[in-house]
């Protein structure tokens, strides 16, 4: 009984050492590399082949396919790489993660821990303690992680040797399809529980080396671990964006398809592995055979999926579509109408009007809440960004042709309207982000005065809907004067209350700044509507108000 508890403790401790080591290696190398990994991912993924090499290399270095996959998701969301480019990286990470098996097989069972691992831990921690805030300290953390990696392998190996001796068995055998599926499921569950395919594969290799598992059983577990690693990506994208879900789905499709092919062709793969090992002169030991098997079926998976990458990209882009993406796609811009300047100007005006509606919706939502930034506001901001990019691309397409002076003037006005709307949306999201941190007013009279000012702004936003049948630019100009008058009156009242110490000064300052931001946001909206109206009606430009010129000094005045 005592020996059983000792063996169980060794299993748990060895696994703990291994997981801690992998985390230290990953964190250390990510910190040491700094922006280099980001630059590599964003620049070296132009083709699928380069993406595969990039994913393979980075994963082999940081020893974490999950970390590379999550980084790839971030780059797709940021628009730095396309979904098609991301698939190449996903393929490469699956090959790169096989490096763990090779480390375990070639080095892990052929060294004395005292000679190799312990010095690594000592040197690594010395660097970490003496240079904790530098790149050298991060390298030290990674070195210590490698030392713990091999210590964990050694503990696991001894534990499985003890199990084999206690149970008096040399190896398990697999009987038919049921046995293969059983060990596949065991490997899958191990990976889901540890959230590390590297840990599951290391356990499998040490078990087969210790005589606890048969070779075919271990192979089925390796396949299960390979499929189980998709759970990390699955957990990571819960509640995430559509692009994140698509990259995770690609990861799942690749690993599941590769796993199915490996299970179906298991005898054939072992024949290929055995022949390849002989050609390469590799030792005929279980751990090396399994490492080669792991690499072989992942490479086979890449070869099978690579020709289908374009089709899979198209398939995934039609999945997980959100309302945000639907609304963010232009409705009126088409390269076919770019040849007709009159039609192109009309299409641009209609698209910018759509963009204006979304910005107005943002502004009203922000003025209706004072506590937090909602999901819809963030979504609307992304829609505005997408529409702005589409409009800019369409204008670039038009500029390649020959434009008359009148069309060029109209296009300049439309571009001006689009830029004002984009600025308005950015200011709105800034206001929303700052609102939860503002110090609230305590005086009821002041609260009511600020509420009346906000009500005037909301009224102007409603009037600025150029798609409404009763839209009037003149009415917007009149309401803008009321907003300015309400702003000035509210400002004087707040300053007087602060001077008379009727309410805390910090709350006054925060409210003054917020009111100024709201006013600037509103002015940008009216400017955009004026520019848009001029292209449609040819109306002459009119000043905003005498007190509210376009002078930058007015926009940036000190509200205190």
Residue 163 — pLDDT band, cuts 50, 70, 90?
Answer: low
CB 352 within 8 Å of CB 392: no
Q: Is residue 560 part of a domain?
A: no
Residue 458 — pLDDT band, cuts 50, 70, 90?
Answer: very high
* pLDDT for residue 527 is more than 80: yes
- Which of 214, 209, 151 has its CA nearest to residue 10? 151
Residue 517 — pLDDT band, cuts 50, 70, 90?
Answer: very high
Query: Same structural domain for residues 287 and 369?
Result: no
Query: Same structural domain for residues 214 and 100?
Result: yes
Rounded to whole angstroms, how far apart are CA atoms 361 and 451?
19
User: Residue 346 belongs to a domain with what CATH number?
Assistant: 1.20.58.220
Residue 169 — pLDDT band, cuts 50, 70, 90?
Answer: very low
Rounded to whole angstroms, how far apart are CA atoms 327 and 275?
56
Query: Same structural domain for residues 295 and 414?
Result: no
pLDDT score, position 66? 66
Give the pLDDT confidence of 220-233 residue by residue, as tens digits.
Answer: 888 998 888 887 66
Q: Which of 107-111, 327-331, 396-400 has the lowest mean pLDDT?
A: 107-111
Is residue 545 within a helix (H) or strand (E), and if so which, with residue range?
none
Query: Same structural domain for residues 334 and 307?
Result: no
**Average pLDDT estimate for 85-89:** 86
- Which of 500, 499, 503, 501 has its CA nearest to residue 450? 503
**Average pLDDT estimate for 188-194:** 78
Rounded to whole angstroms, how far apart are CA atoms 62 and 97?
9
- Which of 375, 148, 330, 358 has its CA nearest to residue 240? 375
Looking at 270, 287, 317, which one is the last position of a domain?
317
Query: How many domains does one find in the chain?
Result: 2
Query: Same structural domain for residues 51 and 186?
Result: yes
pTM of the predicted model, to two decimals?
0.57
Domain that holds residue 335: 325-555
pLDDT top residue among 41 and 516: 516
* pLDDT for residue 520 is more than 90: yes
Query: Same structural domain for residues 302 and 388?
Result: no
Query: Same structural domain for residues 230 and 377?
Result: no
Query: Same structural domain for residues 214 and 346?
Result: no
* pLDDT for residue 41 is more than 70: no
Query: Same structural domain for residues 410 and 313?
Result: no
Looking at 317, 347, 373, which one is the last position of a domain?
317
Query: Same structural domain for residues 361 and 302?
Result: no
pLDDT score, position 96? 86
Q: Is residue 547 part of a domain?
A: yes
pLDDT score, position 547? 42
Looking at 270, 297, 317, which one is the last position of a domain?
317
Rounded to whole angstroms, how far apart are CA atoms 172 and 411?
76
**Average pLDDT estimate for 246-272:** 87
Query: Same structural domain for residues 347 and 394?
Result: yes
Query: Same structural domain for residues 133 and 57?
Result: yes
């Amino acid at each position: 009984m005592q020996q059983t508890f000792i063996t169980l403790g060794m299993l748990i401790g060895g696994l703990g050492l291994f997981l801690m080591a992998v985390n230290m290696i990953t964190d250390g190398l990510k910190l040491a590399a700094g922006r280099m990994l980001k630059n590599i991912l964003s620049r070296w993924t132009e083709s699928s082949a380069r993406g595969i090499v990039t994913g393979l290399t980075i994963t082999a270095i940081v020893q974490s396919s999950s970390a590379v996959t999550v980084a790839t998701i971030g780059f797709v969301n940021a628009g730095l790489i396309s979904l098609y480019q991301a698939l190449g990286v996903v393929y490469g990470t699956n090959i790169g993660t096989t490096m763990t098996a090779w480390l375990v097989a070639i080095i892990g069972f052929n060294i004395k821990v005292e000679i190799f691992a312990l010095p690594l831990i000592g040197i690594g921690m010395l660097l970490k303690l003496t240079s904790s805030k530098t790149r050298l300290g991060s390298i030290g953390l990674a070195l210590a992680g490698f030392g713990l990696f091999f210590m964990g392998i050694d503990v696991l190996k001894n534990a499985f040797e003890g199990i084999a001796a206690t149970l008096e068995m040399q190896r398990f055998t697999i009987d038919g399809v049921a046995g293969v599926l059983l060990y596949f499921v065991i490997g899958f569950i191990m990976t889901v529980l540890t959230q590390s395919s590297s840990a599951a594969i290391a356990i499998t290799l040490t078990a087969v080396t210790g005589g606890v598992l048969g070779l075919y059983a271990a192979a089925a577990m390796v396949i299960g671990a390979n499929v189980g690693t998709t759970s990390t990506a699955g957990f990571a994208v819960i509640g995430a964006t559509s692009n994140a879900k698509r990259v995770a789905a690609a990861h799942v499709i690749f690993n599941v398809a590769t796993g199915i092919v490996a299970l179906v062709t298991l005898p054939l793969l072992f024949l290929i592995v055995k022949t390849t090992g002989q050609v390469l002169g590799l030792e005929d030991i279980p751990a090396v055979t399994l490492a080669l098997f792991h690499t072989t079926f992942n490479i086979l998976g890449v070869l099978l999926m690579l020709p289908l990458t374009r089709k899979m990209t198209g398939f995934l882009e039609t999945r997980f579509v959100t309302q945000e993406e639907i609304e963010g796609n232009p409705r009126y811009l088409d390269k076919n109408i770019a040849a007709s300047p009159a039609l192109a100007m009309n299409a641009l005006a209609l698209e910018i009007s759509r963009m204006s509606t979304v910005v107005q919706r943002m502004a009203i939502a922000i003025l209706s809440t004072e506590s937090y930034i909602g999901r819809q506001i963030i979504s609307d901001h992304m829609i505005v960004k997408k529409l702005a990019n589409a409009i800019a691309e369409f204008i670039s397409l038009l500029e390649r042709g020959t434009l008359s002076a009148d069309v060029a003037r109209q296009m300049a006005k439309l571009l001006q309207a689009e830029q004002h709307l984009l600025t308005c949306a950015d200011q709105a999201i800034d206001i929303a982000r700052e609102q939860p941190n503002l110090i609230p007013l305590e005086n009821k009279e002041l609260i009511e005065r600020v509420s009346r000012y906000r009500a005037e702004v909301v009224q102007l936003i409603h009037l600025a809907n150029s798609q409404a049948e009763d839209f009037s630019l003149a009415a917007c100009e009149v309401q803008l004067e009321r907003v300015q008058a309400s702003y000035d009156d509210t400002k004087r009242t707040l300053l007087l209350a602060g001077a008379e110490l009727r309410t805390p000064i910090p709350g006054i300052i925060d409210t003054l700044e917020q009111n100024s931001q709201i006013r600037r946001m509103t002015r940008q909206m009216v400017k955009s509507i004026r520019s848009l109206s001029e292209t449609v009606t040819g109306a002459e430009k009119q000043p905003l108000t005498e007190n509210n010129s376009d002078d930058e000094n007015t926009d940036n005045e000190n509200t205190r």
